[in-house]
Amino acid sequence: MPSRAAPTTQSPPIPAGLTRDQLLEIYRYLRLTRTLEERLTALYRQSKVIGGLFRSLGQEGESVGSAYALARGPNPDILSPLIRNLGSMLVMGAEPIAILRQYMAKAESPTRGRELNVHFNDLDKGYLGQISHLGDMIPVMAGIALTFKLRGEPRVGLVYVGDGATSTGTFHEGLNFAAVQKVPLVVIAEYNRWAYSTPPEKQFAVKDLAEKAKAYGIPAVTLDGNDVLAVYEATRFAVERARSGHGVHFVEVKTYRRKGHAEHDDQHYVPKEELDWWAKENDPVDRYVKRLVQEEWVEERELKAIDDRVRVEIDQATDACAGEPLPPGESALGGVYADPAAAPRHWYRSL
């Protein structure tokens, strides 16, 4: 890759108050997400990933850009990722080796092999394990954000929700509750055009998901979800607004799910030209790289060096855990149910 000139004083100012180092850090998270998911795909094809594999290909920009707007470190903001928000977990500090162990159900994985992808939490780092039922994390996160408000903690919650999940009752109940209680919550609604095999025109009759939020009195914006810096800037505004006591904010990101629902899904219902267009013309990582280099904020060789380091990091993490054991079969029920049982067995279980 030919190297371009170093940043000059004529370069346009970097937007959103970001520094050059932060631009590079955002790039690292984008690359880490993509490379880690590519590695997981290879492991899935070797039958080393035990459960399903859900990719965020083409959506990494909105996960990374939004999570990057949160406060990390001691007493962090809390985010609630979905299966397609691996990038947001990495930004909050999830380690690639923990993700690899989790997908391979290793004994040393965060859930010790009890769960097979990203349904695990680390409250010190600032992410929850999701409830799989679509929409349910909206009321859960509204409740968590309410605790921040009641305790007077300057913390914010951020919850991701898919376009399909906005059709559930809990989405509407949770959103209304959050609006009425004015909780410090940011909702990132991912309009990625497919909910399993259901397209938007069979899912809802509104044009933008933001209209649903406005109906509950919540300020809402719709933006290009594959423009990493635009997502960062809009989320940062929403986060600071929530932190200063102004309540919920809704950010709709228009993006595209470039893989099937999970690796087993061959996407036969998706027009091939549509997939090709998003891959060639609207890839969030390609667009980010192009902008950084064209604006002369960074040099291509710096990005290449990050690519190389990320590849080594993922190789080392894979090598370190590939041969690790699965949990012993006899341990399977430990840590799943309360011990001793929190409530007596239901009468019909003794029949």
Ligand X SMILES: Cc1ncc(C[n+]2csc(CCOP(=O)(O)OP(=O)(O)O)c2C)c(N)n1
Tokens matching residue 78: 């809390």
Q: Which residues of 270-298 are buried (b: 16+ CB within 10 A; e: fewer)?
A: beeeebeebeeebbbbebbbebbbeeebb
Catalytic residue among 45, 269, 301, 309: 269
Residue 41 and residue 64 in contact, taking contact as beta carbons nearer than 8 Å? no
Q: How far is the CB of 166 from ligand X (least distance, A)?
A: 7
Q: Which residues of 85-99 are buried (b: 16+ CB within 10 A; e: fewer)?
A: bbbbbbbbebebbbb
Q: How far is the CB of 203 from ligand X (least distance, A)?
A: 8
Any contact of residue 84 with ligand X (CB under 6 A)? yes
By CB under 6 A, what part of segment 164-183 binds ligand X? 164-165, 168
Q: Residue 220 phi/psi, 5° resolution?
A: -145, 140
Binding pattern for the stretch 119-138 against ligand X, x by CB under 6 A and - elsewhere: -------------xxx----
From candidates 196, 207, 245, 328, binder to ligand X by CB under 6 A: 196
Any contact of residue 194 with ligand X (CB under 6 A)? yes
Any contact of residue 163 with ligand X (CB under 6 A)? yes
Which among 285, 291, 289 is positioned nearest to 302, based on CA atoms?
Answer: 289
Q: How far is the CB of 231 from ligand X (least distance, A)?
A: 16
Nearer to ligand X, 190 or 283 (CB): 190
Question: How many residues form the binding site for ligand X (CB under 6 A)?
Answer: 16
From residue 40, alpha-carbon distances to 29, 98, 128, 195, 307 in Å are: 16, 12, 21, 22, 17
By beta carbon distance, the residue nearest ligand X is 162
Catalytic residue among 101, 114, 155, 261: 261
In the sheet that 78-80 helps form, which strands lie side by side, from edge to edge?
78-80, 157-162, 185-191, 249-254, 220-224
Q: How far is the CB of 59 from ligand X (least distance, A)?
A: 8
Rg (CA), the chain: 21
Residue 257 annotated in active site: yes
Contact window for ligand X (CB under 6 A) among 97-105, 120-128, 193-201, 283-291: 193-201
Residue 261 annotated in active site: yes
User: Which ranges in 188-227 belong to alpha helices (H)?
Assistant: 210-214
What angle do helix axes 228-241 and 284-294 make, rounded to 10 degrees?
100
Nearer to ligand X, 60 or 190 (CB): 190
**Paired sense of beta strands 185-191 and 220-224, if any:** unpaired
Residue 133 annotated in active site: no
d(CA 248, CA 176): 10
Q: How far is the CB of 117 from ligand X (least distance, A)?
A: 12
Q: How far is the CB of 321 from ligand X (least distance, A)?
A: 27
Binding pattern for the stretch 229-268 against ligand X, x by CB under 6 A and - elsewhere: ----------------------------x---x-------
Would you tell me which residues interact with ligand X (CB under 6 A)?
84, 132-134, 162-165, 168, 190, 192, 194-196, 257, 261
Catalytic residues: 257, 261, 269
